[in-house]
Structure 1
């Protein structure tokens, strides 16, 4: 999809270029017509001057060259005349030894055309038919002008005009680029604000620097954010109130079940199973509401800031063991799709377990591929036997009593992972030789 800025640049540039080309073609056409008209006008003046200085004396026709322009004297000067009579041809000195091939015209008939002349130059010619009733003589008078000098002037003028137009075209294209870049600068600010909003640095768009054209859109967006936040808060409050409201009836039912257990253990056990299911369902729905209903960027786990905070805390807790923890985070990853409180508890338990069993080193790798985040925690401890991997997340079960703890950490991790639909993978004997735990976290839109 081509951006609006690119479309405007292309359309405006094309419009300016087409307008410039059309302007040059129109200017060239007008200049050629003006050049041609000026040549014809001059030839008409020359024709009248030669006619005025053409005399008939004793049956002979002559041209008084002393009254004509000096341009007709030098050889091949570029301005010529020629009088074609039935039995002779009178021509200007400038034609020297050349004679024009002229078509005989009747009295008053005129003709304008172009042909090759002296030095093989193009010429513009103008002829008129003359006659003398007293002498019964018909003649054709022709004046001509070399076009090479005029065409040189035409090329110089048009070349200068072309250069000026190209410079103006370049200036206009540069102006279009600068104006569009300046005009779209506020959109860059909007983009930065959206990035900050996504990263959780701000909670709404700043309307102060937004152009009036898109301000209604930004207003609507802020209203939608505010409405969504209120809806999420209202839903979570309702779920919280519901859970608190159910706690008292469930406590009463629990007491009744315990009392029933003395007289009818089987019924008490069946009811206890249902109460336990209700408890788990309530806790699961509350956790799911927090996991999916409040995952705005500001509430997500921030990396590496939150991880560094966890590591610093664990370094102090396990300072007597001298364990070093190193992080390897893929560039451009700054948040994980999990609520900060849940993320701190989940990753904190995983890291605490790694610190307890590591000899000296723990590593944390975070990568992202195809919108799936992968968090991998390894230690250089003794690891776990293959047949014991499935027991790691069992609540209250500890595989080694020599390490302090209650056996609840990894089961809590499993519960949180299930709430978020994360995949928890345990590997035996990782690259460091100890336990290798991988958490796959899909980034749901």
Structure 2
């Protein structure tokens, strides 16, 4: 099963490469160690052969081969010790041996080459154990007698095998420690290599939250083409959003004059006593005006993330301006405002006024005498002492995409608020206020900047 983690994928690939490299290195080191031991044995064999050759002579009286001085190592005197030597006249009529052979004879691997050099080969010992043998051909002169002698020294390879195995075991432990260290270093290296992608992810998150418009321009050459492509898409999207907002604004302004004329006609009809027709035209005009206002809010909401990058709107100023405006409508409503001192939110000022203005207007329309607005840590609450939600309307209000303007207890303003909040990834919550009426809460804490 393929993993979707790039970090884990790179780590596993690197770990496999490290494991393969360490295995090959381990095998190579073991072979080099074994070869070194055998070279050391070659030197020992050469020394023993020279010692043995220096102690060989031919008896002048009998013509027999004698050894006056054997190899110096005492292990040649121990039976089956793994240290063996033997010498023979070239026609094998007489062979002398080390006591360690116990009367056994080792095979001579040479072909009778009398070049005075030591030739190395592998042979089998008395117990069929592997031996490393060195053979030399020498000529001895005793008076008129001249004989060609073959000298063989063989050492047991069991010690080499044992040393190789011990070295291999110790090497495995060392290589495991190295592998762990390299794996940790590689994990850090992969993290450093993927760090630019983490930066990109953070910047994309900031773009989604509206904290920035474009990705950073400086980055590794391998990542820069991606950054340029994404920035190009963002620029094109911003232009498209701006064009859509302009078209919506043009549409709204294009409808403004006909709506004004329609309102004037309604007033003329009312003056002529045509009250039913005038009221019908006024209702149509008011509905068209509200729908145009909502579509303008939606068009503006589509461009919110581009306008809130540098927005740090002071909440107290917005609430104060809205309360003063609503207080001049002549309604006998007392407004209470409890705003956290110095509180600011990364929300466009017009958007915040759209949200709070519609909530306060809705609360004032249904309140008996009191409306309270509070803001703390980016969380806003608007309450009134009116009748609250009509029975059975709370479920519809809480539904995603519910037409709040069709519930009877809340106007089109709440639908506009919901459109703006959707663009910010926020939502409204409805409950019963301790004042007796509706309590509407909005959580914009993620945009609090104070």
CA distance in 1, matches of 2:62, 2:392: 140
Q: For 1:207, what is the secondary structure of its paired residue?
A: coil
Partner residue, 1:340 = 352
CA distance in 1, matches of 2:239, 2:110: 102
Instruction: Report the CA distance between 1:19 and its aligned residue.
Output: 0.6
Partner residue, 1:220 = 229
Instruction: Report the CA distance between 1:244 and its aligned residue.
Output: 1.6
Q: Note if contact 2:384-2:439 (Cα within 8 Å) is conserved in structure 1.
A: no
Classify 1:198/1:116 alpha carbon distance in 2 versus 1 (closer, same or farther; 3 Å): farther
CA distance in 1, matches of 2:372, 2:419: 33
Q: Note if contact 1:424-1:437 (Cα within 8 Å) is conserved in structure 2.
A: no
Matches within 5 A, 1:84-233: 90-92=96-98, 95=100, 99=102, 101-102=104-105, 108=111, 112-115=122-125, 124-125=132-133, 142-147=152-157, 150=160, 169=179, 172-208=182-218, 210-233=219-242
CA distance in 2, matches of 1:104, 1:247: 119
Classify 1:211/1:287 alpha carbon distance in 2 versus 1 (closer, same or farther; 3 Å): same
CA distance in 2, matches of 1:275, 1:321: 31
Q: Note if contact 2:386-2:438 (Cα within 8 Å) is conserved in structure 1.
A: no
CA distance in 1, matches of 2:354, 2:210: 17
Q: Note if contact 2:49-2:153 (Cα within 8 Å) is conserved in structure 1.
A: yes
Partner residue, 1:416 = 416
Instruction: Name stretches of at least 5 consecutive residues in structure 1 with no aligned partner.
Output: 327-332, 367-374, 399-409
CA distance in 1, matches of 2:280, 2:367: 42
Length, aligned pairs only? 397
Instruction: Name stretches of at least 5 consecutive residues in structure 2 with no aligned partner.
Output: 113-118, 328-333, 398-403, 444-450
CA distance in 1, matches of 2:170, 2:86: 37
Classify 1:159/1:387 alpha carbon distance in 2 versus 1 (closer, same or farther; 3 Å): closer
Q: For 1:213, what is the secondary structure of its paired residue?
A: coil
Q: Note if contact 1:363-1:379 (Cα within 8 Å) is conserved in structure 2.
A: no
Task: Calculate the TM-score normalised by the size of structure 1.
Answer: 0.62
Matches within 5 A, 1:31-430: 31-36=33-38, 39=41, 42-43=44-45, 46-47=48-49, 50=52, 53-57=55-59, 58-59=61-62, 61-66=64-69, 68-71=70-73, 75-76=77-78, 79-83=83-87, 90-92=96-98, 95=100, 99=102, 101-102=104-105, 108=111, 112-115=122-125, 124-125=132-133, 142-147=152-157, 150=160, 169=179, 172-208=182-218, 210-259=219-268, 262=272, 275-291=285-301, 293-296=302-305, 299=308, 339-348=351-360, 384=388, 387=391, 410-411=410-411, 413-417=413-417, 419=419, 427=431
Q: For 1:296, what is the secondary structure of its paired residue?
A: helix
The farther-off stretch of 169-178 and 77-86 is: 77-86
Partner residue, 1:13 = 15
Task: Calculate the TM-score normalised by the size of structure 2.
Answer: 0.62
Partner residue, 2:447 = none
